[in-house]
Amino acid sequence: AQSVTQLGSHVSVSEGALVLLRCNYSSSVPPYLFWYVQYPNQGLQLLLKYTTGATLVKGINGFEAEFKKSETSFHLTKPSAHMSDAAEYFCAVSNQGGKLIFGQGTELYVKP
């Protein structure tokens, strides 16, 4: 069985500060890992994904994430937060069969 744990349901940062959203996963097979973003009253948009190859993956809007197998982690980072980054972020794992299992989400607040 697969599962995802996002540490912190709410994260608050100041504009210009580092963004770090934590995600740990559990999977019995090599996982595919994803981060999605959801803006208010909208659907989910893919930020980035890891399938195979380079463990540091870059996504849209300046976000990146690093797959660390030894730590079963896939934390999302951005060097400098912008007000427009305020949204809910979801980490997800797939067993390569197409089915995505999502974490509970982390609401990111950006203070001016």
Partner 1 sequence: DAGVIQSPRHEVTEMGQEVTLRCKPISGHDYLFWYRQTMMRGLELLIYFNNNVPIDDSGMPEDRFSAKMPNASFSTLKIQPSEPRDSAVYFCASTDRTTGGNTIYFGEGSWLTVV
φ/ψ of 55, rounded to 5, equals -85, -15
Does residue 43 bind partner 1 (CB under 8 A)?
A: yes
* Measured CA distances, 38 to 52, 57, 67, 70, 85 (Å): 25, 20, 22, 29, 10
Does residue 101 bind partner 1 (CB under 8 A)?
A: yes
DSSP 33-56: EEEEEE-TTS-EEEEEEE-SS-SE
Does residue 105 bind partner 1 (CB under 8 A)?
A: yes
* Residues contacting partner 1: total by CB under 8 A: 21
Q: Using the minimum distance from each CB to partner 1, give the nearer residue, 14 or 104.
A: 104
Q: Tell which positions 48-77 bind partner 1, by CB under 8 A.
A: 49, 51
Q: Which residues bind partner 1 (CB under 8 A)?
A: 32, 34, 36, 42-46, 49, 51, 90, 94, 96, 98-105
